[in-house]
Amino acid sequence: MQKEMVDILDSKGKLTGVVKPKDEAHSSKLWHRSVHVWIYNSKGEVLIQKRAAMKKSGPGKWDISAAGHVSSGEKTKESALRELEEEIGIKADPRNLKHVLTTKKSMDIKDIKFYEREFCYVYLLKHEKLPTKLQREEVAAVKFIPIEKFSDDIKSKKTKAKYVQHPKSYYLSIICLIKKALKKRSKAANKNTNP
């Protein structure tokens, strides 16, 4: 199986011209790019995926709707569209995928020698249907949960443990961005029904 190659960045997020295997980028603490796609629906729910039990980091925990690394030479939006289709079978219209945030993430999981040094490009996608075609080596299950329940889970130490270890501030930013997108859509719908 061919190794996934990623572009190496400097600490400010600029391309260095160096390309390395993804595993080496993690073991050597090298900066690279990833994409996170958060899916929400008009009911005010967010889609979360349960990571497969064989995943190196966060096995069996709930996580982002779809996420992955930006392959060498790939644009972030292309990567987001690819991950959506590969992981959960959604072939999204690129015009509906909205870039909302770029965040710098540094995290060490020393017991498995896994070091994340990533610039994460975060996208939102409004999608109503629960995906049924899952990439089983990556994703064990998916479900929609109310955004308020997701928010409560993240704020509670007891329930936050069932989610992948991202900073609380990251999760709260995502929740805020989804609520903002829902409010904007609701205003637009009201404007169209009230001439």
Going by pLDDT thresholds of 50, 70 and 90, the confidence category of residue 27 is confident
Q: What is the pTM of this model?
A: 0.91
What is the Cα–Cα distance from 166 to 89, expressed in whole angstroms? 24
CB atoms inside a 10 Å sphere around CB 166? 20
Convert the pLDDT of each residue in 144-186 to its tens digit: 999 999 999 999 999 999 999 888 899 999 999 999 999 886 6
Given a cut of 70, whether residue 193 has pLDDT beyond it is no
In this prediction, residue 195 carries a pLDDT of 56
Confidence check: pLDDT of 76 > 90? yes
Task: Give me the amino acid identity at 104.
Answer: K
Mean pLDDT of the residues in the chain: 91
Look at residue 87 and tell me whether its pLDDT is greater than 90. Answer: yes
Q: Does 41 score more than 70 pLDDT?
A: yes
Kindly list the domain boundaries of the chain, sorted by start residue.
Answer: 5-193
Q: What is the dotted CATH code of the domain comprising 5-193?
A: 3.90.79.10
- With b for 16 or more beta-carbon neighbours within 10 A and e for fewer, the 84-103 pattern comes to beebbebebeeeebeebeeb
